[in-house]
């Protein structure tokens, strides 16, 4: 029993050290919107929301979720010194956003987190989430990796793949905060929970660091992320089924100045007598079966802008 207690104290000390080591790199984000006062006509800053983020590098780039800062006019970041309890707030400026992966980069002069890798993660491994749930700044929760290779939708509808599932408690306000391994290395960014009530249900999701790193590097360098597009608008799978299309992606429009139109792809239209003429249905891209729009985006994400793809369509 004495040995077990000694071991437990050792584990606890490691957890405390992990928290104290990483807390200076985790920020509490307040966002604000601007509104004109009806009486004075002055521009007022009103609170819009809260979230979490972490310092990426020594240049002060802060990584968070795009949905945390979306529509905000201003943002401030607050840090906590775990040893003194002193909080410091600073204004942050926006460097760039990648809505397709739900990632945003801000800038402020802060201390960076220690970056690891998501390659080689195992289900059952211990992880820690640091964030600001319900506005309670710099909260630490512990859990395990519950699953790997999950998929979730970004704010634009484009799929985010290889998502990490964890049972570490994640609640509103945790979005944008770091998911750390037992060595205190960053392995993901806490992004979403599966919960009808909106509170933690033991099913949380984090964007893996290897996905994050690609977008963040581009955002820091250029302020944007370029991804290939086909140049079509399409009908989502649930709506397409109502038209009798169970597989493939129905093209609604292929703008004349886009790559799809140049390749001869046809959009949906109405005939002179008012009947609906369905457009092409994308069935394959580069030999990959396309059953839904998620399949289409996955195939495109394997390519770079400017490259050509082979597309198989069904034409009525």
Query: Could you read off the pLDDT tens digit of each residue along the chain, which spans 316 residues?
Result: 455 545 557 788 888 888 888 888 899 998 887 766 555 555 555 667 889 999 999 888 999 999 999 888 888 898 887 677 788 888 888 999 999 999 999 998 777 788 888 888 999 999 999 998 888 878 999 999 999 999 988 888 888 989 999 999 988 888 999 999 999 999 999 998 766 555 556 889 999 999 999 999 999 999 999 888 888 888 888 888 888 888 999 999 988 888 888 888 888 888 878 788 888 999 999 999 999 888 898 898 888 888 889 999 998 7
pLDDT at position 159 is 87
Q: What is the rounded end-to-end Cα distance, in angstroms, of the chain?
A: 75
Give the residue numbers annotated as catalytic, written as ranges.
67, 102, 175
User: Cα separation of 296 and 51, whole Å?
Assistant: 31
Taking Cα atoms as reference points, which of 201, 142, 137, 213 lies closest to residue 174?
137
Annotation: CATH topology of 233-314:
Pdz3 Domain (2.30.42)
User: In this structure, which CATH number among 3.30.365.10, 3.40.50.150, 2.40.50.150, 2.40.10.10 belongs to the domain 126-222?
Assistant: 2.40.10.10
Cα-based distances in Å from 298 to 99, 214, 285, 288: 16, 16, 10, 9
Do the domains spanning 2-107 and 233-314 agree at the CATH topology level? no
The first and second tokens of residue 79, run together, are 């840090």
Task: Report the pLDDT value the prediction gives residue 182, as an integer from 0 to 100.
Answer: 92
The CA distance from 242 to 236, in Å, is 10
What's the CATH class of domain 2-107? mainly beta
H or E element: which one contains 238?
A: helix 237-241
State phi, psi for 210 to the nearest 5 degrees.
-65, -30
Q: Which of 172, 70, 182, 180 is nearest to 115 (CA)?
A: 180
pTM of the full predicted structure?
0.77
pLDDT of residue 114: 84
Task: Return d(Cα 285, Cα 261) in angstroms, integer.
Answer: 16
* CA–CA separation, 100 and 204 (whole Å): 19
Residue extents of the structural domains in the chain:
2-107, 126-222, 233-314
């Amino acid at each position: 029993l004495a040995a077990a207690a000694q071991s437990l104290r050792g584990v606890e000390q490691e957890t405390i050290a992990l928290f104290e080591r990483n807390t200076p790199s985790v920020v509490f984000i307040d966002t604000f919107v601007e509104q004109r006062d009806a009486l004075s006509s002055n521009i007022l800053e009103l609170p819009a929301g809260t979230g979490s983020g972490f310092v990426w590098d020594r240049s002060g780039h802060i990584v968070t979720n795009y949905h945390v800062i979306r529509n905000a006019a201003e943002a401030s970041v607050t840090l906590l010194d775990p040893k003194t309890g002193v909080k410091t707030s600073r204004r942050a400026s926006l460097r760039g956003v990648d809505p397709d992966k739900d990632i945003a980069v801000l800038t402020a002069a802060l201390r960076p987190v220690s970056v690891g890798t998501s390659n080689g993660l195992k289900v059952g491994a211990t992880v820690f989430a640091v964030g600001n749930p319900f506005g309670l700044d710099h909260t630490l929760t512990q859990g395990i990796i519950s699953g790997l290779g999950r998929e979730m939708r970004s704010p634009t509808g484009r799929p985010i793949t290889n998502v990490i599932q964890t049972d570490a408690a994640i609640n509103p306000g945790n979005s944008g905060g770091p998911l750390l391994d037992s060595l205190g290395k960053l392995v993901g960014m806490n992004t979403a929970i599966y919960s009808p009530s909106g509170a933690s249900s033991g099913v949380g999701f984090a964007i893996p660091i290897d996905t994050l790193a690609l977008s963040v590097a581009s955002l820091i360098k250029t302020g944007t992320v370029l991804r290939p597009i086909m140049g079509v608008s399409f009908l989502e799978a649930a709506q397409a089924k109502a038209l009798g299309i169970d597989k493939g992606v129905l093209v609604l429009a292929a703008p004349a100045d886009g790559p799809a139109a140049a390749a001869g792809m046809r959009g949906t239209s109405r005939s002179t007598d008012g009947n609906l003429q369905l457009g092409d249905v994308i069935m394959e891209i580069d030999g990959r079966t396309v059953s839904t729009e998620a399949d289409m985006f996955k195939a495109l994400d394997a390519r770079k802008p400017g490259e050509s793809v082979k597309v198989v369509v069904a034409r009525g």
